[in-house]
Amino acid sequence: MSYDAIARLVEFKGEYGVLPAAFCRAILGTIDETRQLLGEMERALLLDGTLPAALRDDIRSYNRKILAYSSDQIIPVRRPFGGRWFDDVTVPPRMIEDCLASRSSARSSREGAERDAQSSAVGHF
């Protein structure tokens, strides 16, 4: 699949409301940045067979940005659930709220049990 095909798919999903417009803009921006960087790399390799230091720095910066997110997302948005972009648009908000609430109450129960265990351990010494 080409970047053109992916970009067009994202555009369609934005037009039909399958993905929020902000997501589409972020994805399309990353595709444009990737194309530009690949073009610069190709030109540099064709001209003198090596990448100039400034371009290598750009590539390192780009890689750090892309690798800073999980492999299934290119949009830097803090997310509930598994951190997957499609959870934002396919999982009902109520389900996410219920999961976050149950995780929070489980954590509170666990912390309470740990405090009780520490208190009783202190009393035995």
CA distance 22 to 83: 17
Token pair recorded at residue 13: 């999903």
pLDDT of residue 77: 56
Cα–Cα distance for residue pair 100/106, rounded to 1 Å: 10
More confident residue, 55 or 90: 55
pLDDT at residue 117 is higher than 50:
yes
Q: Kindly tell me if the per-residue pLDDT of 97 is higher than 90.
A: no
Q: What does the alpha-carbon distance between residue 44 and residue 46 come to, in Å, rounded to a whole number? A: 5
Q: How far from 78 is each of 21, 48, 73, 87, CA to CA, in Å?
A: 17, 42, 11, 12
- For the cut 70, the answer to whether the pLDDT of residue 123 exceeds it is no
